[in-house]
Structure 1
Amino acid sequence: MIETVFRTEDLPQADRFDAWCERAAQSHAPVAISSAHSADFRGFQQVVRLNAVPAYAAGWQPAVVRRTPRLIRQSDPERYRLSFIQRGTVGITINGRETTYGPYGLFSHTTSIPYELHIGTRGDQVEANSVEVPREVLSLAGAQADHVIGRPLRGRDGTGALLATFLTTLTATAGTFTAADAARLEKVLLDLVAAVFAHELDALNHLSPETHRRTLTLRIRAFIRQHLHDPDLTPTMIAAAHHISVSYLHRLFQPEQDTVTMYIRHQRLERIRRDLADPAQHTVPLHHIAARWGFVHQATFTRAFRATYGMAPRDYRQEALPREEAERRELRERRSRRPERGRPRTG
């Protein structure tokens, strides 16, 4: 896994816009960029490269980006790009369709089809997370994926939301992963991209069985995390919500060396452990915290917590609070020593 960061503010003012254009060509494909802010352009790009698939976090001042037929003939790496907007607005014209996206918008384009992007359609700064996938590594046939390009995608819910959350977390926590994690993370990312395309086509049957299984498992895990507070969260309830049998649900979790019930319990205990270490919640009764995360019976909760963490919840809270405060102080000190990453500012 390789992470690189580029900031125009690290360069002399006169070089910033040209450097940004060159960066865009190197990381994506040759494009023509114009901007009213070219005299002092502010942009930020973080690249997290997972073998063949790069993920991006970027911030732009308003600009227009064009990928023309001439530029495509000049060079075409044949890549698909999906972008999730965190802030600002982006307009895209592709395949004869004009669409404007705001926060939580998810849109796609490809290096093989002409397009025009208006970054910051309202004169606003734009922040987004993106992934770029080579055509040859996508598990969905290129002819099928091309039908999705330019169509509005859903980034607030469903598989689109899973992809958006994964991208945001991946770029935000890139420093915590090792080179050995790259292949596993890339596989998950490719599965999510393929699932987003397939969902738009309403043709999940076009996915390979393995990709469909992994994508369904990711959806189920996200569903579990969203419903941990519900004491009725059981394998039967989860299977019914996803229109599968309980036996198939259990088979989905077998490769993970985990059972559905164990996963639910572990996620609940992790949330409780986090709350017990939170100084802001030091006066909240233990049974209230346990009930918040789906443990109805105090004795069951205490036994499960002790078996997992080797001590009673009350003892853990007493030890964790001073340690948590010390770790927060250390983290603040490290951040104060680290150069600020910086985001685009109005010039």
Structure 2
Amino acid sequence: MLNETVFRTEDLDGADRFDFWCERIGRTHAPLDLYSPHAADYQARQRVLGLGAVHVWPTTHQALRFRRTPKLIRQSDPEQFHIGIPLRGTNHISSGDVRAVCGSYEIQVFDSSRAFQVYSAAEGDELFSGVGIEIPKALLHVPQEKMDLLFARGMSGREGFGALLVQFLTQLISDTSSYLPSDGPRLGTIVVDLLSALFAHTLDADRALPPETRSRCLVLRIREYVQRNLHDPGLTPTTIAAAHHISISYLHRLFQGEHETVAAWIRSQRLERARRDLADPALSSATIHSIAARWGFTRATDFTRAFRAAYGLPPRDYRQHALRHPVPLPLSTQRQ
């Protein structure tokens, strides 16, 4: 599992909760002045995932105002950006004459060297929830003077690189059990690449990105495109290259550093989706052929042959076993 710490105010006495929360936020981000109308018995939860020099922290809390003042900046400045992504609730942001309101799935940038105030809250009695990212300024491949233009500028987390970032983060925080601590820096590099690509695209500064960052981000875009189009039997390296305005030879070069070729990866993803559907009791009335066709296999014999090679059993036998015994098959019969 990744390096992770968890904090919950419910583990503390009511009178101590808000003070400990203030200390916790100050250590995670930077010293802040915090206020909440619920301070007498504050409800908050936070996880912090260490991804090398990058930290990702999903959080849930009651309404909160936090201020980064000139005095606090003089006292301590970690020289980092904080990326805020509300998932439920709204951030009301102000700094000098700048005012902005950013809602759910809008990505915002805060600078530890800049004074600002944010009020975070959800509607009614709901708790605000979101994901924060702490990243050293030196890691981003965008000039500092351009980064200043992003303050209080909400960027969509529902399309483009913003959607890729949110999708990656939500998948990561939902289940970290399959990762080792040594995976942290690699995952941190993905976060840096996606943030750099999002900011550069927003600022029309794509040329500022190093070639390796552009290549890694293109691979992520291609992977996301494939996941959305696995149902299409016409999904091939040729159509993928055309959709991304690159040559087939360049597409194959991009995947040279990956574990599988493009075609092999498409097939493995289709097989895994089909395997999950075959094991799903809610789909027990669906025919094997319909499930195979749903994931782009038009020929039953091709699907059966590929499934047996991947999982050690033909689809019908696998389904019978999975529905009768809701426990995983031995690893020897599962795709590694």
Q: Distance in 2 between matches of 1:282 and 1:95?
A: 60
Aligned pairs for 1:50-61 within 5 A: 50-61=51-62
Q: Deviations over 1:28-70 (max 9, x none)?
A: 0011111110111111100011121110010110111111111
**What corresponds to 1:84 in structure 2?**
85
Quick one: which amino acid aligns to residue 9 of structure 1? E
**What corresponds to 1:179 in structure 2?**
181
Matched, 1:263 2:257: no
Q: Distance in 2 between matches of 1:150 and 1:75?
A: 22
Aligned pairs for 1:1-347 within 5 A: 1-94=2-95, 96-120=97-121, 122=123, 124-323=126-325, 325-326=326-327
For structure 2, list consecutive stretches of 5 or more residues without a partner in the other structure: 329-336
> Which TM-score applies when normalising by structure 1?
0.90
Sequence identity percentage? 48
Q: Distance in 2 between matches of 1:136 and 1:2?
A: 22
For the structure 1 residues 278 and 125, does the alpha-carbon distance in structure 2 shift closer, same or farther, using more than 3 Å as the test?
Answer: same
- Deviation of 1:96 (Å): 3.7
Q: Distance in 2 between matches of 1:219 and 1:97?
A: 33
Q: Deviations over 1:79-130 (max 9, x none)?
A: 1111222111221124743221222222111111111111116555210012
* Residue aligned with 2:296, SS: coil
C-alpha contact (below 8 Å) 1:48/1:174 kept by paired residues:
no
* Residue aligned with 2:232, SS: coil
Q: Distance in 2 between matches of 1:319 and 1:97?
A: 61
Q: Distance in 1 between matches of 2:96 and 2:50?
A: 29
Q: Distance in 2 between matches of 1:15 and 1:111?
A: 27
C-alpha contact (below 8 Å) 1:3/1:174 kept by paired residues:
no
- Deviation of 1:141 (Å): 3.1
Quick one: which amino acid aligns to residue 146 of structure 2? Q
Higher deviation after alignment, 173-182 or 227-236: 173-182
Q: Deviations over 1:129-176 (max 9, x none)?
A: 121101122233333333223211110011011111111122221233
For structure 1, list consecutive stretches of 5 or more residues without a partner in the other structure: 328-347
Quick one: which amino acid aligns to residue 48 of structure 2? V
For the structure 1 residues 94 and 291, does the alpha-carbon distance in structure 2 shift closer, same or farther, using more than 3 Å as the test?
Answer: farther
Q: Deviations over 1:270-317 (max 9, x none)?
A: 000111111111121000001111111111111111111122111111
Q: Distance in 2 between matches of 1:326 and 1:236?
A: 39
Quick one: which amino acid aligns to residue 37 of structure 1? H
* Residue aligned with 2:255, SS: helix
Quick one: which amino acid aligns to residue 9 of structure 2? T
**What corresponds to 1:330 in structure 2?**
none
C-alpha contact (below 8 Å) 1:92/1:116 kept by paired residues:
yes
Cα RMSD of the aligned pairs, angstroms, is 1.5
C-alpha contact (below 8 Å) 1:48/1:54 kept by paired residues:
yes
- Deviation of 1:72 (Å): 0.8
Q: Deviations over 1:208-267 (max 9, x none)?
A: 100110011001000000010111111121112111112111111111032111111111
C-alpha contact (below 8 Å) 1:95/1:150 kept by paired residues:
no
* Residue aligned with 1:175, SS: coil
* Residue aligned with 1:170, SS: helix
C-alpha contact (below 8 Å) 1:94/1:109 kept by paired residues:
no
Q: How many residues align?
A: 326
Higher relative contact order (CA 8 A, sep 6+): 1
